[in-house]
A and B are shown apart, each in its own frame.
Chain A
Protein backbone atom coordinates (compact mmCIF):
# COMPACT_ATOMS: atom_id res chain seq x y z
CA UNK A 1 0.00 0.00 0.00
CA UNK A 2 2.99 2.26 0.38
CA UNK A 3 3.48 2.23 -3.40
CA UNK A 4 3.40 5.43 -5.39
CA UNK A 5 0.66 6.08 -7.97
CA UNK A 6 1.33 8.58 -10.74
CA UNK A 7 -0.73 10.77 -13.03
CA UNK A 8 -0.05 13.64 -15.40
CA UNK A 9 -2.95 15.72 -14.09
CA UNK A 10 -5.13 15.28 -11.03
CA UNK A 11 -8.40 17.08 -10.43
CA UNK A 12 -9.91 17.22 -6.99
CA UNK A 13 -13.67 17.55 -7.03
CA UNK A 14 -16.25 16.56 -9.64
CA UNK A 15 -18.63 19.49 -9.56
CA UNK A 16 -19.08 21.69 -12.64
CA UNK A 17 -15.50 23.01 -12.57
CA UNK A 18 -13.86 19.63 -12.08
CA UNK A 19 -16.07 17.90 -14.64
CA UNK A 20 -15.60 20.60 -17.29
CA UNK A 21 -11.83 20.57 -16.81
CA UNK A 22 -11.66 16.77 -17.02
CA UNK A 23 -13.78 16.71 -20.18
CA UNK A 24 -11.63 19.35 -21.86
CA UNK A 25 -8.40 17.57 -20.91
CA UNK A 26 -9.76 14.27 -22.18
CA UNK A 27 -10.59 15.97 -25.50
CA UNK A 28 -6.94 16.94 -25.75
CA UNK A 29 -5.86 13.36 -25.21
CA UNK A 30 -4.93 13.55 -21.55
CA UNK A 31 -6.55 11.16 -19.11
CA UNK A 32 -6.86 13.02 -15.82
CA UNK A 33 -7.47 11.32 -12.52
CA UNK A 34 -10.44 12.85 -10.70
CA UNK A 35 -10.72 12.40 -6.93
CA UNK A 36 -14.25 13.01 -5.70
CA UNK A 37 -15.65 12.84 -2.18
CA UNK A 38 -19.08 12.16 -3.64
CA UNK A 39 -20.57 8.89 -4.75
CA UNK A 40 -21.21 10.15 -8.27
CA UNK A 41 -20.11 13.15 -10.32
CA UNK A 42 -22.06 16.39 -10.02
CA UNK A 43 -20.75 18.08 -6.91
CA UNK A 44 -23.30 19.74 -4.67
CA UNK A 45 -25.11 21.65 -7.41
CA UNK A 46 -25.76 18.61 -9.62
CA UNK A 47 -25.96 16.07 -6.81
CA UNK A 48 -27.90 12.93 -7.72
CA UNK A 49 -28.48 14.24 -11.25
CA UNK A 50 -26.90 11.05 -12.62
CA UNK A 51 -30.10 9.30 -11.46
CA UNK A 52 -32.49 12.12 -10.59
CA UNK A 53 -35.00 11.70 -7.81
CA UNK A 54 -36.89 14.96 -8.31
CA UNK A 55 -38.33 16.18 -11.58
CA UNK A 56 -37.55 19.40 -13.38
CA UNK A 57 -40.78 21.05 -12.28
CA UNK A 58 -39.65 20.73 -8.66
CA UNK A 59 -35.95 21.37 -8.99
CA UNK A 60 -36.09 24.23 -11.46
CA UNK A 61 -34.31 24.22 -14.82
CA UNK A 62 -30.84 25.12 -13.52
CA UNK A 63 -30.42 21.70 -11.95
CA UNK A 64 -31.26 19.80 -15.10
CA UNK A 65 -28.93 21.97 -17.14
CA UNK A 66 -26.10 19.91 -15.65
CA UNK A 67 -27.15 16.79 -17.53
CA UNK A 68 -25.08 17.68 -20.59
CA UNK A 69 -21.97 18.00 -18.44
CA UNK A 70 -22.65 14.71 -16.71
CA UNK A 71 -23.20 12.96 -20.02
CA UNK A 72 -19.96 14.30 -21.52
CA UNK A 73 -18.12 13.39 -18.33
CA UNK A 74 -19.36 9.82 -18.35
CA UNK A 75 -18.40 9.38 -22.02
CA UNK A 76 -14.93 10.87 -21.76
CA UNK A 77 -11.81 8.87 -20.98
CA UNK A 78 -11.33 9.96 -17.37
CA UNK A 79 -9.94 8.05 -14.39
CA UNK A 80 -12.87 8.96 -12.11
CA UNK A 81 -12.52 7.90 -8.47
CA UNK A 82 -15.63 8.48 -6.39
CA UNK A 83 -15.53 8.24 -2.58
CA UNK A 84 -11.90 9.37 -2.61
CA UNK A 85 -10.71 11.92 -0.12
CA UNK A 86 -7.48 13.84 -0.51
CA UNK A 87 -6.23 14.33 3.02
CA UNK A 88 -2.75 15.69 2.41
CA UNK A 89 -0.86 17.53 -0.29
CA UNK A 90 2.59 18.91 -0.78
CA UNK A 91 4.05 20.93 -3.62
CA UNK A 92 7.38 19.73 -4.93
CA UNK A 93 9.67 20.94 -7.67
CA UNK A 94 8.44 18.36 -10.18
CA UNK A 95 4.78 18.23 -9.20
CA UNK A 96 2.47 17.71 -6.29
CA UNK A 97 2.29 14.79 -3.87
CA UNK A 98 -1.13 13.80 -2.61
CA UNK A 99 -2.35 11.51 0.12
CA UNK A 100 -5.62 9.84 -0.85
CA UNK A 101 -7.95 7.64 1.21
CA UNK A 102 -10.66 5.54 -0.33
CA UNK A 103 -12.40 2.29 0.55
CA UNK A 104 -9.22 0.37 -0.26
CA UNK A 105 -7.18 2.39 2.23
CA UNK A 106 -4.60 5.13 1.93
CA UNK A 107 -2.37 5.66 -1.07
CA UNK A 108 0.22 8.16 -2.18
CA UNK A 109 0.08 9.92 -5.52
CA UNK A 110 2.49 12.03 -7.45
CA UNK A 111 0.99 14.25 -10.15
CA UNK A 112 2.64 16.77 -12.45
CA UNK A 113 -0.20 19.25 -12.34
CA UNK A 114 -3.10 19.69 -9.98
CA UNK A 115 -6.47 21.36 -10.31
CA UNK A 116 -8.37 22.12 -7.14
CA UNK A 117 -12.08 22.16 -7.89
CA UNK A 118 -13.17 21.67 -4.32
CA UNK A 119 -16.03 24.16 -4.47
CA UNK A 120 -17.59 26.17 -1.72
CA UNK A 121 -19.21 25.61 1.63
CA UNK A 122 -21.99 27.42 3.40
CA UNK A 123 -20.77 30.35 5.42
CA UNK A 124 -20.97 29.83 9.18
CA UNK A 125 -22.83 32.65 10.83
CA UNK A 126 -23.20 32.09 14.57
CA UNK A 127 -26.18 33.20 16.62
CA UNK A 128 -27.58 31.82 19.88
CA UNK A 129 -28.93 28.31 19.43
CA UNK A 130 -27.47 27.68 15.98
CA UNK A 131 -26.00 24.40 17.25
CA UNK A 132 -29.39 22.91 18.19
CA UNK A 133 -30.82 19.96 16.31
CA UNK A 134 -33.61 21.30 14.13
CA UNK A 135 -31.39 24.01 12.73
CA UNK A 136 -29.68 23.15 9.48
CA UNK A 137 -28.13 24.98 6.60
CA UNK A 138 -30.29 25.53 3.53
CA UNK A 139 -27.73 23.61 1.49
CA UNK A 140 -28.31 20.57 3.70
CA UNK A 141 -32.04 20.81 3.06
CA UNK A 142 -31.37 20.93 -0.66
CA UNK A 143 -29.17 17.87 -0.43
CA UNK A 144 -31.98 15.93 1.28
CA UNK A 145 -34.32 17.13 -1.46
CA UNK A 146 -32.05 16.10 -4.33
CA UNK A 147 -30.80 12.91 -2.71
CA UNK A 148 -34.10 11.38 -1.71
CA UNK A 149 -36.93 13.76 -2.47
CA UNK A 150 -37.07 14.51 1.26
CA UNK A 151 -38.95 17.58 2.46
CA UNK A 152 -39.88 18.70 5.98
CA UNK A 153 -43.02 17.18 7.46
CA UNK A 154 -43.84 20.43 9.23
CA UNK A 155 -43.51 23.79 7.58
CA UNK A 156 -40.03 25.24 8.29
CA UNK A 157 -38.79 28.78 8.89
CA UNK A 158 -36.12 29.97 6.47
CA UNK A 159 -33.69 32.57 7.74
CA UNK A 160 -30.70 34.46 6.45
CA UNK A 161 -29.79 36.04 3.17
CA UNK A 162 -29.03 35.22 -0.42
CA UNK A 163 -30.46 33.57 -3.53
CA UNK A 164 -30.32 30.00 -2.21
CA UNK A 165 -32.80 30.87 0.53
CA UNK A 166 -35.37 31.87 -2.08
CA UNK A 167 -34.60 28.96 -4.37
CA UNK A 168 -35.20 26.52 -1.52
CA UNK A 169 -38.41 28.32 -0.50
CA UNK A 170 -39.62 28.19 -4.08
CA UNK A 171 -38.78 24.48 -4.40
CA UNK A 172 -40.58 23.74 -1.12
CA UNK A 173 -43.65 25.64 -2.34
CA UNK A 174 -43.68 23.55 -5.50
CA UNK A 175 -43.35 20.39 -3.44
CA UNK A 176 -46.34 21.42 -1.37
CA UNK A 177 -44.59 22.30 1.88
CA UNK A 178 -44.40 26.08 1.78
CA UNK A 179 -42.25 27.65 4.51
CA UNK A 180 -44.02 29.31 7.44
CA UNK A 181 -42.10 32.45 6.77
CA UNK A 182 -38.84 33.83 5.48
CA UNK A 183 -36.71 35.88 7.85
CA UNK A 184 -34.52 37.80 5.44
CA UNK A 185 -31.64 39.64 7.06
CA UNK A 186 -31.30 41.74 3.89
CA UNK A 187 -32.95 45.14 4.28
CA UNK A 188 -35.79 45.70 1.77
CA UNK A 189 -34.02 48.74 0.35
CA UNK A 190 -31.19 46.53 -0.96
CA UNK A 191 -33.52 44.91 -3.45
CA UNK A 192 -33.63 48.29 -5.19
CA UNK A 193 -29.87 48.29 -5.70
CA UNK A 194 -30.09 47.07 -9.31
CA UNK A 195 -31.18 50.61 -10.19
CA UNK A 196 -27.75 51.80 -9.12
CA UNK A 197 -25.76 49.01 -10.77
CA UNK A 198 -27.36 49.31 -14.19
CA UNK A 199 -24.59 47.76 -16.22
CA UNK A 200 -24.20 44.74 -13.97
CA UNK A 201 -27.95 44.48 -13.64
CA UNK A 202 -28.40 44.36 -17.41
CA UNK A 203 -25.72 41.75 -17.92
CA UNK A 204 -27.06 39.72 -15.04
CA UNK A 205 -30.73 40.17 -15.89
CA UNK A 206 -31.14 36.40 -16.11
CA UNK A 207 -30.23 36.05 -12.41
CA UNK A 208 -32.30 39.02 -11.30
CA UNK A 209 -35.41 37.96 -13.22
CA UNK A 210 -35.11 34.47 -11.82
CA UNK A 211 -34.97 36.03 -8.34
CA UNK A 212 -38.00 38.25 -8.89
CA UNK A 213 -40.00 35.37 -10.36
CA UNK A 214 -39.24 33.24 -7.31
CA UNK A 215 -40.16 36.03 -4.90
CA UNK A 216 -43.39 36.64 -6.76
CA UNK A 217 -44.27 32.96 -6.61
CA UNK A 218 -43.65 32.98 -2.85
CA UNK A 219 -45.90 35.98 -2.39
CA UNK A 220 -48.61 34.28 -4.42
CA UNK A 221 -48.27 31.22 -2.22
CA UNK A 222 -48.85 33.47 0.76
CA UNK A 223 -45.42 33.00 2.39
CA UNK A 224 -44.72 36.00 4.63
CA UNK A 225 -41.30 37.51 3.90
CA UNK A 226 -39.80 39.78 6.56
CA UNK A 227 -37.04 41.90 5.09
CA UNK A 228 -34.47 43.51 7.35
CA UNK A 229 -34.40 41.03 10.23
CA UNK A 230 -31.52 42.21 12.45
CA UNK A 231 -30.99 39.38 14.94
CA UNK A 232 -31.90 35.72 15.35
CA UNK A 233 -32.05 33.24 18.17
CA UNK A 234 -33.18 29.62 18.23
CA UNK A 235 -34.34 28.10 21.51
CA UNK A 236 -35.65 24.80 22.80
CA UNK A 237 -34.75 21.92 25.08
CA UNK A 238 -32.59 19.44 23.17
CA UNK A 239 -33.85 20.77 19.85
CA UNK A 240 -35.31 23.84 18.17
CA UNK A 241 -38.80 24.66 19.37
CA UNK A 242 -38.94 28.35 18.64
CA UNK A 243 -37.16 31.01 16.66
CA UNK A 244 -36.91 34.58 17.90
CA UNK A 245 -36.11 37.40 15.56
CA UNK A 246 -35.55 41.12 15.90
CA UNK A 247 -37.46 42.97 13.23
CA UNK A 248 -38.74 46.53 12.91
CA UNK A 249 -37.53 47.43 16.38
CA UNK A 250 -39.05 44.49 18.27
CA UNK A 251 -38.39 40.86 19.12
CA UNK A 252 -40.88 38.40 17.63
CA UNK A 253 -41.39 34.69 18.37
CA UNK A 254 -42.35 31.91 16.03
CA UNK A 255 -42.91 28.29 17.04
CA UNK A 256 -41.19 25.90 14.67
CA UNK A 257 -39.39 22.58 14.69
CA UNK A 258 -37.10 23.34 11.77
CA UNK A 259 -35.07 26.41 10.91
CA UNK A 260 -33.08 26.42 7.68
CA UNK A 261 -30.44 29.11 7.45
CA UNK A 262 -28.34 30.48 4.66
CA UNK A 263 -25.77 33.26 4.82
CA UNK A 264 -24.04 32.87 1.51
CA UNK A 265 -21.21 30.57 0.54
CA UNK A 266 -17.43 30.83 0.77
CA UNK A 267 -14.63 28.84 -0.88
CA UNK A 268 -13.80 25.65 1.01
CA UNK A 269 -10.22 26.50 1.95
CA UNK A 270 -8.65 23.48 3.62
CA UNK A 271 -6.60 21.79 0.92
CA UNK A 272 -5.60 25.03 -0.78
CA UNK A 273 -4.31 26.44 2.46
CA UNK A 274 -2.69 23.18 3.51
CA UNK A 275 -0.53 23.12 0.39
CA UNK A 276 0.53 26.69 0.95
CA UNK A 277 -1.59 28.75 -1.41
CA UNK A 278 -1.98 32.32 -0.14
CA UNK A 279 -5.51 33.58 0.52
CA UNK A 280 -6.50 37.24 0.49
CA UNK A 281 -9.55 38.83 2.04
CA UNK A 282 -12.12 39.89 -0.55
CA UNK A 283 -14.24 42.77 0.67
CA UNK A 284 -17.09 42.14 -1.79
CA UNK A 285 -17.38 38.45 -1.00
CA UNK A 286 -16.67 39.05 2.69
CA UNK A 287 -14.32 36.12 2.88
CA UNK A 288 -10.86 34.80 1.99
CA UNK A 289 -10.18 33.82 -1.62
CA UNK A 290 -7.10 32.05 -2.96
CA UNK A 291 -4.78 34.27 -4.94
CA UNK A 292 -4.84 33.22 -8.60
CA UNK A 293 -3.44 34.74 -11.77
CA UNK A 294 -5.48 35.38 -14.92
CA UNK A 295 -4.95 31.76 -16.00
CA UNK A 296 -6.47 30.59 -12.69
CA UNK A 297 -3.10 29.33 -11.57
CA UNK A 298 -2.42 29.69 -7.84
CA UNK A 299 1.20 28.57 -7.76
CA UNK A 300 3.64 26.51 -9.73
CA UNK A 301 1.76 23.42 -10.98
CA UNK A 302 -1.48 24.21 -9.11
CA UNK A 303 -4.67 25.69 -10.56
CA UNK A 304 -7.98 26.47 -8.85
CA UNK A 305 -11.30 26.60 -10.70
CA UNK A 306 -14.90 27.09 -9.66
CA UNK A 307 -16.34 28.40 -6.43
CA UNK A 308 -13.27 27.20 -4.53
CA UNK A 309 -11.48 30.13 -6.13
CA UNK A 310 -14.20 32.71 -5.48
CA UNK A 311 -17.96 32.58 -5.66
CA UNK A 312 -19.23 32.81 -9.24
CA UNK A 313 -21.89 30.11 -9.53
CA UNK A 314 -22.19 26.91 -11.53
CA UNK A 315 -21.94 28.40 -15.03
CA UNK A 316 -18.84 30.33 -14.12
CA UNK A 317 -17.38 27.23 -12.50
CA UNK A 318 -17.84 25.29 -15.71
CA UNK A 319 -16.10 28.01 -17.74
CA UNK A 320 -13.30 28.25 -15.20
CA UNK A 321 -12.81 24.50 -15.38
CA UNK A 322 -12.34 24.71 -19.13
CA UNK A 323 -10.11 27.75 -18.85
CA UNK A 324 -7.93 26.02 -16.29
CA UNK A 325 -7.73 22.97 -18.54
CA UNK A 326 -6.61 25.15 -21.46
CA UNK A 327 -4.01 26.81 -19.29
CA UNK A 328 -2.71 23.44 -18.12
CA UNK A 329 -2.56 22.29 -21.74
CA UNK A 330 -0.60 25.16 -23.22
CA UNK A 331 2.59 23.63 -21.94
CA UNK A 332 2.31 20.91 -24.57
CA UNK A 333 0.15 22.75 -27.09
CA UNK A 334 0.50 22.19 -30.80
CA UNK A 335 -2.69 23.90 -31.95
CA UNK A 336 -2.11 27.10 -30.04
CA UNK A 337 -4.22 29.39 -32.21
CA UNK A 338 -7.42 27.39 -31.85
CA UNK A 339 -7.03 27.22 -28.14
CA UNK A 340 -6.32 30.90 -27.93
CA UNK A 341 -9.65 31.60 -29.72
CA UNK A 342 -11.43 29.20 -27.39
CA UNK A 343 -9.84 30.82 -24.40
CA UNK A 344 -10.88 34.34 -25.50
CA UNK A 345 -14.44 33.22 -26.12
CA UNK A 346 -14.63 31.66 -22.68
CA UNK A 347 -13.04 34.68 -21.02
CA UNK A 348 -15.58 36.95 -22.68
CA UNK A 349 -18.57 34.89 -21.58
CA UNK A 350 -17.17 34.53 -18.13
CA UNK A 351 -16.69 38.28 -17.76
CA UNK A 352 -20.25 38.95 -18.95
CA UNK A 353 -21.63 36.42 -16.51
CA UNK A 354 -19.56 37.70 -13.61
CA UNK A 355 -20.61 41.32 -14.20
CA UNK A 356 -23.63 40.81 -11.96
CA UNK A 357 -21.52 39.65 -9.01
CA UNK A 358 -20.70 43.05 -7.47
CA UNK A 359 -24.42 43.80 -7.50
CA UNK A 360 -25.31 40.47 -5.87
CA UNK A 361 -22.54 40.94 -3.32
CA UNK A 362 -23.82 44.41 -2.44
CA UNK A 363 -27.43 43.22 -2.29
CA UNK A 364 -26.73 40.32 0.04
CA UNK A 365 -23.94 41.95 2.03
CA UNK A 366 -23.93 40.67 5.60
CA UNK A 367 -23.37 42.99 8.57
CA UNK A 368 -19.68 42.58 9.42
CA UNK A 369 -20.28 43.36 13.11
CA UNK A 370 -22.89 40.60 13.46
CA UNK A 371 -20.69 38.22 15.46
CA UNK A 372 -19.36 40.79 17.90
CA UNK A 373 -22.93 41.84 18.67
CA UNK A 374 -24.01 38.33 19.70
CA UNK A 375 -24.31 37.43 23.39
CA UNK A 376 -21.32 35.80 25.13
CA UNK A 377 -23.03 32.41 25.32
CA UNK A 378 -23.14 32.04 21.52
CA UNK A 379 -21.03 29.09 20.39
CA UNK A 380 -18.44 29.99 17.80
CA UNK A 381 -16.56 26.67 17.60
CA UNK A 382 -19.19 23.97 17.38
CA UNK A 383 -16.74 21.05 17.64
CA UNK A 384 -15.08 22.12 20.87
CA UNK A 385 -18.08 24.12 22.15
CA UNK A 386 -16.11 27.33 22.54
CA UNK A 387 -18.31 30.32 23.23
CA UNK A 388 -17.92 33.90 22.13
CA UNK A 389 -17.38 34.88 25.77
CA UNK A 390 -14.44 32.49 26.12
CA UNK A 391 -12.90 33.90 22.97
CA UNK A 392 -13.32 37.45 24.24
CA UNK A 393 -11.63 36.49 27.52
CA UNK A 394 -8.71 34.83 25.75
CA UNK A 395 -8.25 37.86 23.51
CA UNK A 396 -8.02 40.03 26.61
CA UNK A 397 -5.42 37.66 28.04
CA UNK A 398 -3.12 38.06 25.08
CA UNK A 399 -4.40 35.94 22.21
CA UNK A 400 -3.59 38.43 19.51
CA UNK A 401 -4.15 36.30 16.43
CA UNK A 402 -6.21 33.35 15.21
CA UNK A 403 -3.50 30.80 15.98
CA UNK A 404 -2.81 32.02 19.49
CA UNK A 405 -6.57 32.12 20.08
CA UNK A 406 -6.84 28.54 18.85
CA UNK A 407 -4.01 27.50 21.17
CA UNK A 408 -5.54 29.27 24.16
CA UNK A 409 -9.13 28.05 23.76
CA UNK A 410 -9.18 24.93 21.48
CA UNK A 411 -11.35 26.97 19.09
CA UNK A 412 -10.76 25.29 15.71
CA UNK A 413 -9.02 22.21 17.15
CA UNK A 414 -11.94 19.82 16.68
CA UNK A 415 -12.80 17.38 13.91
CA UNK A 416 -13.99 20.03 11.41
CA UNK A 417 -10.49 21.52 11.55
CA UNK A 418 -11.74 25.07 11.86
CA UNK A 419 -13.86 25.08 8.72
CA UNK A 420 -16.88 26.24 10.70
CA UNK A 421 -15.18 28.80 12.96
CA UNK A 422 -12.16 30.03 10.97
CA UNK A 423 -13.65 33.09 9.35
CA UNK A 424 -15.71 33.87 12.46
CA UNK A 425 -12.48 34.10 14.43
CA UNK A 426 -10.98 36.38 11.80
CA UNK A 427 -14.08 38.59 11.89
CA UNK A 428 -14.13 38.73 15.67
CA UNK A 429 -10.46 39.70 15.98
CA UNK A 430 -10.93 42.20 13.18
CA UNK A 431 -13.75 43.92 15.06
CA UNK A 432 -12.20 43.73 18.52
CA UNK A 433 -8.77 44.91 17.39
CA UNK A 434 -10.02 47.30 14.70
CA UNK A 435 -7.70 45.67 12.17
CA UNK A 436 -8.65 44.64 8.62
CA UNK A 437 -9.36 40.89 8.22
CA UNK A 438 -6.45 40.58 5.80
CA UNK A 439 -4.06 41.66 8.53
CA UNK A 440 -5.68 39.45 11.18
CA UNK A 441 -5.20 36.40 8.97
CA UNK A 442 -6.44 32.87 9.43
CA UNK A 443 -5.55 29.57 11.08
CA UNK A 444 -2.52 27.68 9.83
CA UNK A 445 -4.31 24.77 8.22
CA UNK A 446 -2.72 21.42 9.00
CA UNK A 447 -3.17 18.01 7.48
CA UNK A 448 -5.17 15.84 7.46
CA UNK A 449 -7.77 17.94 5.65
CA UNK A 450 -9.99 14.85 5.47
CA UNK A 451 -10.33 12.20 8.14
CA UNK A 452 -8.11 9.15 8.14
CA UNK A 453 -7.29 6.67 10.85
CA UNK A 454 -3.89 6.03 12.40
CA UNK A 455 -4.13 2.50 11.04
CA UNK A 456 -4.56 3.79 7.48
CA UNK A 457 -1.66 6.17 7.91
CA UNK A 458 0.51 3.51 9.56
CA UNK A 459 -0.01 1.23 6.56
CA UNK A 460 1.88 3.80 4.47
CA UNK A 461 5.01 3.56 6.60
CA UNK A 462 7.93 2.45 4.47
CA UNK A 463 8.93 -0.40 6.74
CA UNK A 464 5.37 -1.67 7.21
Chain B
Protein backbone atom coordinates (compact mmCIF):
# COMPACT_ATOMS: atom_id res chain seq x y z
CA UNK B 1 0.00 0.00 0.00
CA UNK B 2 3.04 2.26 0.31
CA UNK B 3 5.72 2.63 -2.32
CA UNK B 4 9.01 4.46 -2.51
CA UNK B 5 9.02 7.53 -4.67
CA UNK B 6 11.54 7.60 -7.47
CA UNK B 7 12.96 10.94 -6.36
CA UNK B 8 13.98 9.75 -2.91
CA UNK B 9 17.69 9.42 -2.39
CA UNK B 10 19.42 6.07 -2.58
CA UNK B 11 19.55 4.48 0.84
CA UNK B 12 21.48 1.45 2.06
CA UNK B 13 19.42 -1.64 2.56
CA UNK B 14 19.41 -4.36 5.21
CA UNK B 15 18.07 -7.89 5.19
CA UNK B 16 15.42 -8.59 7.77
CA UNK B 17 13.21 -11.57 8.45
CA UNK B 18 9.49 -10.99 8.59
CA UNK B 19 7.58 -14.07 9.72
CA UNK B 20 10.39 -16.25 8.46
CA UNK B 21 10.83 -14.66 5.04
CA UNK B 22 13.76 -12.47 4.14
CA UNK B 23 13.26 -8.97 2.75
CA UNK B 24 15.67 -6.27 1.68
CA UNK B 25 14.57 -3.01 3.26
CA UNK B 26 15.85 0.60 3.33
CA UNK B 27 17.85 1.04 6.52
CA UNK B 28 16.10 4.27 7.50
CA UNK B 29 12.74 2.59 8.08
CA UNK B 30 11.32 1.71 11.44
CA UNK B 31 10.06 -1.82 11.97
CA UNK B 32 6.46 -0.58 11.71
CA UNK B 33 7.17 1.27 8.46
CA UNK B 34 8.96 -1.79 7.07
CA UNK B 35 5.98 -4.05 7.77
CA UNK B 36 3.61 -1.52 6.18
CA UNK B 37 5.95 -1.32 3.19
CA UNK B 38 6.19 -5.09 2.77
CA UNK B 39 2.76 -6.30 3.77
CA UNK B 40 0.46 -3.31 3.88
CA UNK B 41 -1.77 -2.70 6.86
CA UNK B 42 -4.39 -5.40 6.55
CA UNK B 43 -2.53 -8.06 8.50
CA UNK B 44 -0.36 -6.03 10.81
CA UNK B 45 -1.69 -7.05 14.22
CA UNK B 46 -4.69 -8.61 15.87
CA UNK B 47 -6.03 -6.67 18.83
CA UNK B 48 -7.34 -7.97 22.18
CA UNK B 49 -10.88 -7.50 20.86
CA UNK B 50 -10.09 -9.90 18.00
CA UNK B 51 -10.09 -7.25 15.29
CA UNK B 52 -7.32 -6.22 12.94
CA UNK B 53 -5.31 -3.14 13.89
CA UNK B 54 -2.44 -1.30 12.26
CA UNK B 55 -0.11 1.57 13.15
CA UNK B 56 -1.95 4.84 13.70
CA UNK B 57 0.49 7.53 14.89
CA UNK B 58 3.97 6.06 14.17
CA UNK B 59 5.49 8.30 16.83
CA UNK B 60 5.32 6.27 20.00
CA UNK B 61 1.95 7.35 21.35
CA UNK B 62 -0.83 5.03 20.21
CA UNK B 63 0.76 1.60 20.80
CA UNK B 64 -1.11 0.21 17.79
CA UNK B 65 2.15 -0.96 16.16
CA UNK B 66 2.98 -3.58 18.83
CA UNK B 67 5.00 -6.38 17.26
CA UNK B 68 7.48 -9.09 18.20
CA UNK B 69 11.09 -8.07 17.51
CA UNK B 70 13.89 -10.59 17.98
CA UNK B 71 11.61 -12.73 20.10
CA UNK B 72 10.45 -9.96 22.40
CA UNK B 73 6.68 -9.40 22.09
CA UNK B 74 4.70 -6.17 22.28
CA UNK B 75 7.43 -3.77 21.24
CA UNK B 76 6.52 -0.49 19.60
CA UNK B 77 7.56 -1.11 16.02
CA UNK B 78 7.60 2.60 15.24
CA UNK B 79 10.42 3.29 17.71
CA UNK B 80 12.81 0.59 16.53
CA UNK B 81 14.86 0.93 13.35
CA UNK B 82 15.34 -2.12 11.16
CA UNK B 83 18.77 -3.72 11.44
CA UNK B 84 20.64 -6.38 9.53
CA UNK B 85 19.46 -9.83 10.56
CA UNK B 86 16.58 -8.60 12.65
CA UNK B 87 13.71 -11.03 13.07
CA UNK B 88 10.20 -9.61 13.13
CA UNK B 89 7.01 -11.52 13.83
CA UNK B 90 3.55 -10.09 13.51
CA UNK B 91 1.17 -10.83 16.39
CA UNK B 92 -1.77 -12.24 14.49
CA UNK B 93 -2.99 -14.77 17.05
CA UNK B 94 -6.05 -13.16 18.66
CA UNK B 95 -3.33 -11.32 20.60
CA UNK B 96 -2.46 -12.00 24.21
CA UNK B 97 -5.81 -13.29 25.35
CA UNK B 98 -9.35 -13.55 24.20
CA UNK B 99 -10.82 -11.19 26.81
Contact = CB atoms under 8 A, between A and B. Distances in A.
Chains A, B in direct contact (C-beta < 8 Å): yes
Interface of A: 37, 39, 44, 48, 51-55, 57-58, 83, 85, 121-122, 131-137, 139-140, 143-144, 147-154, 175-176, 238-239, 257-258, 268, 382-385, 414-416, 419-420, 450-451
B68 interface: no
A416 B63 contact: yes
Contacts of B55: 136, 140
B2 A54 contact: no
Contact of A416 (B5, B37, B62): B62
Given A121-B59, A140-B59, A268-B61, A415 B5 contact: no
Contact of B59 (A44, A55, A384, A414): A44
A148 B7 contact: no
Contacts of A150: 2-5, 29, 33, 36-37
Given A238-B51, A416-B61, A451-B76, 8 more contacts: A58-B5, A131-B56, A136-B56, A147-B30, A148-B26, A148-B37, A385-B49, A420-B61
B57 A258 contact: no
A129 to B, nearest CB: 11
Given A134-B54, A147-B30, A150-B3, A382 B64 contact: yes
Contacts of B30: 147
A58 B4 CA distance: 13
B36 A55 contact: no
Interface in B27-83: 28-30, 33, 36-37, 41-42, 44, 47-49, 51-64, 66, 74-76, 78-79, 81
A126 to B, nearest CB: 12
A416 B65 CA distance: 11
Nearest to A175: B5
Contacts of A152: 1-3
Contacts of A58: 5, 7
> Which 8 A-B residue pairs are closest in the complex by CB-CB distance?
A149-B8, A133-B54, A140-B58, A385-B49, A133-B41, A415-B63, A150-B2, A416-B63
Nearest to B8: A149
Contacts of B49: 385
Nearest to B29: A148
Given A55-B7, A385-B48, A135 B33 contact: no
A44 B57 CA distance: 11
B24 to A, nearest CB: 13
